[in-house]
């Protein structure tokens, strides 16, 4: 069974080395999509010969980078695709738990959730204000309810990859993927993951931009 | 008013000349050419016969001719912004696809 781990990276020279080091011992095919970083992200990735490096010549944002990785993985016979972060927020050891329901229980999509049991140190502002708001937006736009509205840690089988094609280049892809899961009624499971916060991630302005992207995507279709 | 009328007339004539040239060089279709001619001739007409707009405005239930022009202008601008927006989205999409295909191709060469 071929498992591809897609890591979108934009100016992650500081963290990507450690993430790839952690992944080196595991039997996953790692694909890093360098979204036109201005720092040494690519150079660091090239030090890992088994890792595939895809380079965007211009910055096309995270959603676009993930989709580039998806297409490469499908082209090279992936059975399961895992989305992972370059900034070291996620634990490599959680990957096994995320792909397990697909391998053993025939699930099509698995979402990593910060809010199911495992301990994540979440900033209070995020836990009590931003995430409830994000859940509300997801509910209003797509009529979906999940515990973790903006998780970047997910896995899906190749059979549903085409249905989960990411069209939102920006950060709205998280909501987009959730929407498609529910729209196509895919068999989905949430599993607990640990998230380490070194920095805040999306701020409120970023959240507003996601809403804007979602609104406009409804207009321009 | 007469000075403005002459200036606008010269401007409209220049625009019409350019339009004719574009049509002549097959850069725009006949339908497009006629549409734009009509629009600019309307501008000319409005500047020489300002009262016309008042008649039209009154007919539509708007107080002044100038108001009618503003309303119409805003409608046209909003429509054009929308068109540009949709076009831009398409360009962004195409650009992403181009960059994606190139990235995947180059990875295979390595």
Q: What is the ipTM of this complex?
A: 0.81
**Does the model's pTM come out above 0.80?**
no
Hey, are the CB atoms on B107 and A72 less than 8 Å from each other?
yes
Hey, are the CB atoms on B100 and A56 less than 8 Å from each other?
yes
Per-residue pLDDT at B25: 92
Q: Examine the pLDDT at A154 and tell me if it is beyond 70.
A: yes
B40 and B70 share one domain:
no
Domains in chain A and their CATH numbers?
3-220 (3.90.550.10)
Mean pLDDT throughout A89-116?
A: 91
Q: Examine the pLDDT at A108 and tell me if it is beyond 90.
A: yes
B58 and B107 share one domain:
yes
DSSP per residue over A152-169, as a string? --EEEEGGGTTTT-----
B83 and B33 share one domain:
no
Hey, are the CB atoms on B103 and A55 less than 8 Å from each other?
yes
B61 and B83 share one domain:
yes
B84 and B42 share one domain:
no
Range name among B24-28, B85-89, B93-97 with the lowest pLDDT average: B24-28
Residue B28, CA distances (Å) to A21, A173, B5, B38 in order = 59, 39, 28, 15
* Closest residue in A to B105 (Cα–Cα): A54
Q: Examine the pLDDT at A200 and tell me if it is beyond 60.
A: no
Q: Is the dihedral of CA A58, A59, A65, A67 positive or negative?
A: negative
User: Domain total for chain B?
Assistant: 2
Hey, are the CB atoms on A169 and B92 less than 8 Å from each other?
yes
Per-residue pLDDT at B59: 87
Range name among A54-63, A150-159, A189-198 with the lowest pLDDT average: A189-198
Confidence of residue B91 (pLDDT cuts 50, 70, 90): very high
Torsion-angle region of A195 (φ positive above 0: left; ψ -120 to 50: alpha; else: beta): beta
B24 and B63 share one domain:
no
Range of the domain at B96: 51-110
Per-residue pLDDT at A124: 72
Counting residues of chain A whose pLDDT is more than 70, the rounded percentage is 88
Q: Examine the pLDDT at A71 and tell me if it is beyond 90.
A: yes
Report the mean per-residue pLDDT for chain A: 86
Per-residue pLDDT at A32: 97
User: Nearest-CA distance from B107 to chain A in Å?
Assistant: 6
Range name among A23-37, A121-135, B30-44, B50-64 with the lowest pLDDT average: A121-135
Per-residue pLDDT at A166: 93
Hey, are the CB atoms on A54 and B95 less than 8 Å from each other?
no
B10 and B61 share one domain:
no
B41 and B56 share one domain:
no
Hey, are the CB atoms on B92 and A216 less than 8 Å from each other?
no
Q: Could you count the other beta carbons within 10 Å of the beta carbon of residue A151?
A: 22
User: Nearest-CA distance from B85 to chain A in Å?
Assistant: 8
Q: In what order do the strands lie in the sheet with A188-192?
A: A52-55, A29-34, A3-9, A80-83, A154-157, A109-113, A188-192
* Closest residue in A to B88 (Cα–Cα): A220
B33 and B65 share one domain:
no
Mean pLDDT throughout A173-195?
A: 87
* Closest residue in B to A217 (Cα–Cα): B89
B42 and B60 share one domain:
no
> Of B14, B29, B49, which one is at a domain's C-terminal end?
B49
Contact list, A55 vs chain B (CB under 8 Å): 103, 106-107
Hey, are the CB atoms on A52 and B107 less than 8 Å from each other?
yes
Pairing of strands A80-83, A188-192: unpaired
Mean pLDDT throughout A191-201?
A: 75
B43 and B90 share one domain:
no
B43 and B55 share one domain:
no
Per-residue pLDDT at A99: 96
Per-residue pLDDT at A120: 61
Contact list, B107 vs chain A (CB under 8 Å): 52-55, 72
Euclidean distance between CA atoms A207 and A173, whole angstroms = 12
């Amino acid at each position: 069974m071929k498992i591809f781990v897609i890591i979108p990276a934009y100016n992650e020279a500081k963290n990507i080395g450690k993430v790839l080091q952690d992944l080196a011992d595991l039997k996953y095919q790692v694909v890093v999509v360098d979204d036109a970083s201005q720092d040494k992200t690519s150079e660091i990735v090239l030090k890992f010969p088994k890792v595939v490096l895809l380079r965007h010549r211009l910055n096309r944002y995270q959603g676009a980078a993930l989709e580039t990785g998806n297409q490469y993985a499908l082209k090279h016979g992936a059975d399961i695709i895992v989305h992972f972060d370059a900034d070291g927020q996620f634990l490599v050891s959680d990957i096994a738990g995320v792909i397990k329901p697909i391998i053993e229980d025939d699930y099509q999509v698995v979402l990593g959730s910060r809010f199911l049991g495992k301990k994540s140190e979440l900033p209070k502002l995020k836990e009590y204000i931003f995430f409830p708001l994000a859940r509300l937006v997801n509910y209003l736009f797509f009529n979906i309810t999940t515990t973790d509205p903006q998780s970047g840690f997910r896995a899906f089988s190749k059979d549903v990859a085409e249905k989960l094609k990411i069209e939102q280049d920006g950060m709205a892809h998280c909501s987009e993927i959730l929407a498609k899961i529910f729209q196509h009624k895919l068999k989905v499971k949430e599993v607990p993951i640990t998230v380490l916060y070194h920095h805040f991630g999306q701020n409120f302005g970023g959240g507003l931009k996601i809403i804007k992207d979602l609104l406009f995507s409804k207009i321009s279709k | 008013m007469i000075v403005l009328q002459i200036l606008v007339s010269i401007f409209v004539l220049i625009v019409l000349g350019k339009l004719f040239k574009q049509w002549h060089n097959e850069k725009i279709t006949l339908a497009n050419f006629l549409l734009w001619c009509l629009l600019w001739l309307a501008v000319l007409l409005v500047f020489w016969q300002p009262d016309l707009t008042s008649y039209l405005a009154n007919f539509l239930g708007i107080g002044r001719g100038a108001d009618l022009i503003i309303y119409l202008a805003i409608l046209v601008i909003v429509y054009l912004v929308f068109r540009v927006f949709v076009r831009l989205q398409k360009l962004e999409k195409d650009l992403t696809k181009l960059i994606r295909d190139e990235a995947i191709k180059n990875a295979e060469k390595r």
